[in-house]
Structure 1
Amino acid sequence: MFKFPKNYTTLKFLAGLMLCTASASALAFCYPINYKNEHAIAVNPSSNKIYDLNGVFANNTCRIYDYEFQSSYVSVIDGATNQIDTRLNFRNFQPFGDWSPDLIAVAVNPATNKIYVAGYRIAAVIDGKTNTLEIVPTGISPHVVAVNPITNRIYVTNNDKTVTILDGVTDSILSTVAVGSDNSTFKHAIVVNPVTNKIYVTNGGDDTITVIDGATNTTRTVAALKHPFALAVNPVTNRIYITNNDNTITIIDGATDSIIKTLVVGSDNSAFKQALVVNTVTNKIYVINENNDTVTIINGATNNTSTLTTGVTPRAVALNEKTNKIYVANYGSNNVTVIDGATNTTATVPVGTHPNALAVNPETNKVYVTSEDDVAITVIDSSTVVEFYNTQLDNYFLTANTSEASAIDGGSAGPGWIRTGNTFKSGGSTAVCRFYGSQSPGPNSHFYTLLGAECDRLKQLQTTIPATEKRWNFESLDFISTVPINGTCASGLLPVYRAYNNGFARGVDSNHRISTSQAAIQEVTNRGWINEGIVMCAPIGVTQP
């Protein structure tokens, strides 16, 4: 039998760091962490690395310091393995001693593999290849950062009514541009249109936005807004969408930088209630209304609007244009609303306590969610566990790895393997251990069990049984599921059954069938297999022939 490639999803435990995984309808799979108030996260889809701004952390005591909006670390996560590559301590690179540098914003240039971080007391660039850190000069209290990957220019808003423009080659200042006329602390958001090479900056204190011409660094002002807060650009249509604090969205024509439409959204004047995101493929704009627990959907072609209900207190929004899925972090209900952009149907994913930021990797179709109070990163993973059967070996096999499944379909695992049509969703609170025997001495098969006592016992036996004898060898944490309670699954979860071919007694290689289909389990028990009952619980969303 073909020995399938390993698919490790284990984490490197570094100073108590937590990482979680979940499916589109599942609980989070978490490890302990020891920092708080995470509120910014970014993904580099080219390198599959995730950059997370973390709260104050004590290396020696692992004590949690509950300082609101005081982040001192950037955690670099390898999206392929879910391992923590490193944690960069910004306190070692800023002149304020024990003061926190208050990191609040992070942006990635995937073309150069550089990551730019801003905080109230510091701005810096991280080399994504080496994870080295270098301080970059800016104005007073850098606040938000944006990147134009085409021109390799970086734009940092400062609290002294300026924007610092950096050369991405040297990371030195090219120019400093005056914007707005008010020093209101939370006045600047910034977005780049890489097609037109224009940069848009909100000035909430004086009800304007500043438009920077990226070619000349000259500016112009667009007035007649009401405390503009967040903005997004559609580079395809050259439209800019700005949230205001009077329940409206201002739409600007990027060709003339003039207001062409004002739309009413939501019904509450909460100061920081709206974030928004644009799908350039469908030309739809999604605006969260924090105090209304809704999302307003704007049709960019007609400017007509519709509304969807979210969880409680939606705080952040992100999208995957490849899958046309929109993700809304609901701060008050501790979950993420997943919107299908094609049908506007929704699903809900439980995550950590008080989720407040999201980032999407469209290449891997994973979503990273930070949570403020239980200090977790949840990874939403829509993987499906697929069952194969070998007609020659009378052997069943599972995988949640799409590449591995495709390889089996292509014959890489040898002849006789077919899909049974049985699938179930990965997702839950506990990882599933995957073991393999050997072609010789065997067992020439795989075995799956939830992380816990049975998994630990098999790992222990692996250390005591010689490789020349039959034994199970741990391969990976293959997918995620949920532990049954007293042999049953909670409401909203599907029971996953396991049947054993009684290989030891029959003198053949041991094999198990694991399925949510009772009919599938009954079929093999009719052939003398032993029904071991419910061994795990899967999220809703399975195929059962």
Structure 2
Amino acid sequence: MRNFPFPRAGTPRLLRLGATGQVVLLFMLILGGAQLAIRGPLTTILAASTQKAYVANGASDTVSVIDVATNTVVATIATDPYPVGIAASPDGAHVYTANNVGDSISVIDTGTALVSQTISLPVGTGPFGVAVSPDNQRLYVAGYGPVAGGTGAAAPPFYRSDADMRSEAYATTAQNTVFVIDTASGTVTNTVLVGTNPHSLVVSPDGANLYVTNTVDRTVSVVSTATLGAVATIPVQADPYGIAITPNGSTVYVANDADSTASVIDTSTNSVVATVPIGTAPYGVVVNRAGTLAYITNAVDHTISVIDTGTNSVVGTVPVAGIEPYGISITSDGRYVYSTLCEDGKISVTDTATNTVVATVMVGAGPQDVVIPPAR
């Protein structure tokens, strides 16, 4: 083997080229006077730390796993029927899918890319949004109601329009309920009554409050995670779907599908402080780690609106490379935004430095949502 020494201690000390031409890293760590060597193929070591995007494919009952470094699908995981919402644990160890038709939650071990547990919910729950507490102890699930069989002509078969929902009576409390699940045991420990057809939810960075969009009521419920009771109800615009919060917890952004606006909520007063006109039929929302930009998908315009959180004004509009962008997520470094293209069965990848699409990735049918956990 040929050795290539590195100049500094505490970093990989040797690069060795094996007989087969395979590059191997040799790490030397000083631990109380002892040395610990960690060796392995370079490609294996890099793959372990690469972020992955997990895509809930509603129409194919799967989750696609994308390596964000190469934008290739590296695994496909079967779930219960119609995974629509998806979230990751803060440590990146697990991904959770809300299976709307299956009335269940699939727990995916990101280390093995396998479903490690399936959590059953009451029949008719129709789970949609899902969020994990910052301490990783609780999973919050919005019981939206079954969405298969929507009548919208241009809608996927698992999508139900506002007109559909308003024309039907919902008899079960599960469609006005947030379920609280203990992540260690996978059991439902509490339920919280919110508005009608809760769709998406987000937990404040300090874990103190849960914000829930109620589609039919046109409101956002604020739930205290200490008492598990609603402490405020905030009127927004028609059909609030996606929701996100800034990293400092000061501001919540809500996508109002039927009004083509974003509501901006000041969490200190639980009031709307701005309403921002964006594209047609906004759906998913994500805020970058710096808290400076919010990205919102517009399903009918096939675009992403970029909002400056300092001025609450649109500073960019990105045409995506396909039809019906729904779910959206962002890499930890804020460099790339991933959005689902529901009608095309693809993911669109946007470079946030240029606000241009740099890649598309084929996934399963009817991708609804996407999440990018921290690298492990």
TM-score of the superposed pair, with normalisation by structure 1: 0.47
Measured against aligned partners, the alpha-carbon deviations of 1:320-375 in whole angstroms (never above 9, x if no partner) come to 2415333445567867352334xx442432433888454436649xxxxxxxxxxx
Q: Say whether residues 1:235 and 2:247 are aligned partners.
A: yes
1:285 aligned partner:
294
1:208 aligned partner:
219
Query: Residues 137 and 173 of structure 1 are in contact (CA less than 8 Å); yes or no, is this contact kept in structure 2?
Result: no
1:501 aligned partner:
none
Quick one: structure 1 residues 170 and 80, their matched pair in 2 at CA, closer, same or farther if it must change by over 3 Å?
farther
Structure 1 distance, partners of 2:347, 2:92, is: 34
Specify the SS of the correspondent of 1:351.
strand
1:118 aligned partner:
98
Q: Cα offset for 1:309?
A: 3.6
Code of the aligned partner of 2:119: V
Quick one: structure 1 residues 107 and 317, their matched pair in 2 at CA, closer, same or farther if it must change by over 3 Å?
closer
Query: Residues 330 and 337 of structure 1 are in contact (CA less than 8 Å); yes or no, is this contact kept in structure 2?
Result: no
Higher strand share: 2
Q: Cα offset for 1:216?
A: 1.1
1:154 aligned partner:
139
Specify the SS of the correspondent of 1:189.
strand
Q: Say whether residues 1:190 and 2:171 are aligned partners.
A: no
Structure 1 distance, partners of 2:366, 2:127, is: 24
Structure 2 distance, partners of 1:292, 1:75, is: 25
Quick one: structure 1 residues 281 and 154, their matched pair in 2 at CA, closer, same or farther if it must change by over 3 Å?
same
Measured against aligned partners, the alpha-carbon deviations of 1:144-171 in whole angstroms (never above 9, x if no partner) come to 2111131511101113210111122222
Q: Say whether residues 1:173 and 2:188 are aligned partners.
A: yes
1:164 aligned partner:
179
1:262 aligned partner:
275
Quick one: structure 1 residues 50 and 127, their matched pair in 2 at CA, closer, same or farther if it must change by over 3 Å?
same
Query: Residues 245 and 252 of structure 2 are in contact (CA less than 8 Å); yes or no, is this contact kept in structure 1?
Result: yes
Code of the aligned partner of 1:216: T
Q: Cα offset for 1:255?
A: 1.6
Q: Say whether residues 1:338 and 2:350 are aligned partners.
A: yes
1:217 aligned partner:
228
1:109 aligned partner:
89
Q: Cα offset for 1:308?
A: 2.3
Structure 2 distance, partners of 1:355, 1:176, is: 30
2:116 aligned partner:
133
Quick one: structure 1 residues 235 and 136, their matched pair in 2 at CA, closer, same or farther if it must change by over 3 Å?
same
Structure 2 distance, partners of 1:332, 1:127, is: 25
Q: Cα offset for 1:235?
A: 3.0
Specify the SS of the correspondent of 2:372.
strand
Query: Residues 75 and 88 of structure 1 are in contact (CA less than 8 Å); yes or no, is this contact kept in structure 2?
Result: no
Specify the SS of the correspondent of 1:236.
coil
Specify the SS of the correspondent of 1:230.
strand
TM-score of the superposed pair, with normalisation by structure 2: 0.66
Structure 2 distance, partners of 1:348, 1:296, is: 17
Query: Residues 91 and 374 of structure 2 are in contact (CA less than 8 Å); yes or no, is this contact kept in structure 1?
Result: no
Structure 2 distance, partners of 1:202, 1:310, is: 26
Specify the SS of the correspondent of 2:199.
coil
Structure 1 distance, partners of 2:184, 2:308, is: 38
Specify the SS of the correspondent of 2:96.
strand
Comparing 350-359 with 73-82, greater Cα deviation is found at 73-82
Quick one: structure 1 residues 205 and 154, their matched pair in 2 at CA, closer, same or farther if it must change by over 3 Å?
same
Specify the SS of the correspondent of 2:185.
coil
Structure 2 distance, partners of 1:143, 1:153, is: 16
1:300 aligned partner:
309
Paired residue total: 295
Q: Cα offset for 1:296?
A: 2.1
Query: Residues 209 and 222 of structure 1 are in contact (CA less than 8 Å); yes or no, is this contact kept in structure 2?
Result: yes
Quick one: structure 1 residues 325 and 203, their matched pair in 2 at CA, closer, same or farther if it must change by over 3 Å?
same
Q: Cα offset for 1:176?
A: 0.6
Quick one: structure 1 residues 264 and 234, their matched pair in 2 at CA, closer, same or farther if it must change by over 3 Å?
same
**Structure (1 or 2) with the larger CA radius of gyration:** 1
Q: Say whether residues 1:360 and 2:372 are aligned partners.
A: yes
Code of the aligned partner of 1:225: Q
Quick one: structure 1 residues 178 and 46, their matched pair in 2 at CA, closer, same or farther if it must change by over 3 Å?
farther
Specify the SS of the correspondent of 1:105.
strand
Query: Residues 327 and 339 of structure 1 are in contact (CA less than 8 Å); yes or no, is this contact kept in structure 2?
Result: no
Aligned residue runs from structure 1 range 417-428, under 5 A: none
Quick one: structure 1 residues 221 and 325, their matched pair in 2 at CA, closer, same or farther if it must change by over 3 Å?
same
Query: Residues 329 and 337 of structure 1 are in contact (CA less than 8 Å); yes or no, is this contact kept in structure 2?
Result: no
Query: Residues 310 and 330 of structure 1 are in contact (CA less than 8 Å); yes or no, is this contact kept in structure 2?
Result: no
When the two chains are superposed, the root-mean-square deviation of aligned CA atoms in Å is 3.6
Q: Cα offset for 1:277?
A: 1.2
Quick one: structure 1 residues 339 and 308, their matched pair in 2 at CA, closer, same or farther if it must change by over 3 Å?
farther
